[in-house]
Amino acid sequence: MHVCVFGAGSLGSLVGGLLATATEVTLVGRDPHVSAIQEDGLQLTGECDLTVHPNAATAPPADADIAIVTVKSFDTEAAGEALAPLELAGILSLQNGMGNEHTLVSICSAPVLAGTCTYGARLVEPGVVECTGLGDVTLGPYEGGKTALADRLGACFSDSGFNTTVAVDMPRRLWTKLAVNAGINAPTALARVQNGELTAGPGRELATAAARETAQVARENDISLSDEDAIDRTLSVAEKTAANHSSMFQDILAGNRTEIDAINGHVVDVATTDVPVNQTITRLVRTWECGQGLR
Give the max Cα distance, the chain.
Answer: 53
SS3 241: coil
Percent of the chain with pLDDT over 70: 100
Q: What is the pLDDT of residue 92?
A: 98
Say how many residues make up the chain: 295
SS3 158: helix
Mean pLDDT computed over every residue of the chain: 97
Q: What is the pLDDT of residue 75?
A: 97
How far apart CA 11 and CA 256 sit, in angstroms, is 16
Question: C-alpha 10: how far from its chain's center?
Answer: 11
pLDDT band at 182 (very low <50, low <70, confident <90, very high): very high
How far apart CA 156 and CA 135 sit, in angstroms, is 16
Give residue-wise pLDDT tens across range 133-143. Answer: 899 999 999 99
pLDDT band at 170 (very low <50, low <70, confident <90, very high): very high
Q: What is the pLDDT of residue 248?
A: 96
Give residue-wise pLDDT tens across range 81-110. Answer: 999 999 999 999 999 999 999 999 999 999
Q: Does the annotation mark 177 as catalytic?
A: yes
Q: Domains in the chain and their CATH numbers?
A: 2-168 (3.40.50.720), 171-290 (1.10.1040.10)
User: What are the angstrom distances between the C-alpha of 43 and each of 13, 117, 129?
Assistant: 10, 20, 6
DSSP letter for each residue of 55-98: EEESS--TT-SEEEE-S-GGGHHHHHHHHTTS--SEEEE--SSS
Give residue-wise pLDDT tens across range 215-229. Answer: 999 999 999 999 999
Residues 6+ apart with CB under 8 A from 262: 73, 74, 96, 97, 98, 99, 100
Is 52:17 a contact under the CB 8 Å cutoff? yes
Q: What's the rounded mean pLDDT across residues 233-258?
A: 94
How many CB atoms lie under 10 A from the CB of residue 189? 24
How far apart CA 114 and CA 170 sit, in angstroms, is 7
Q: What is the pLDDT of residue 140?
A: 98
pLDDT band at 115 (very low <50, low <70, confident <90, very high): very high
Burial class (CB in 10 A: 0-12, 13-18, 19+), 253: exposed
Q: What is the pLDDT of residue 38?
A: 98
User: What are the angstrom distances between the C-alpha of 285 and each of 76, 241, 259?
Assistant: 20, 22, 10
What pTM, to 2 d.p., does this model score?
Answer: 0.93
Percent of the chain with pLDDT over 90: 97
CA dihedral of residues 207, 230, 47, 61 (deg, nearest 10) = -110
Q: What's the rounded mean pLDDT across residues 120-135?
A: 94
pLDDT band at 2 (very low <50, low <70, confident <90, very high): very high
Return the exposure string of 261-275: e unless at least 16 CB atoms fall within 10 Å of the residue's CB, then b: bbbbbbbbeebeeeb
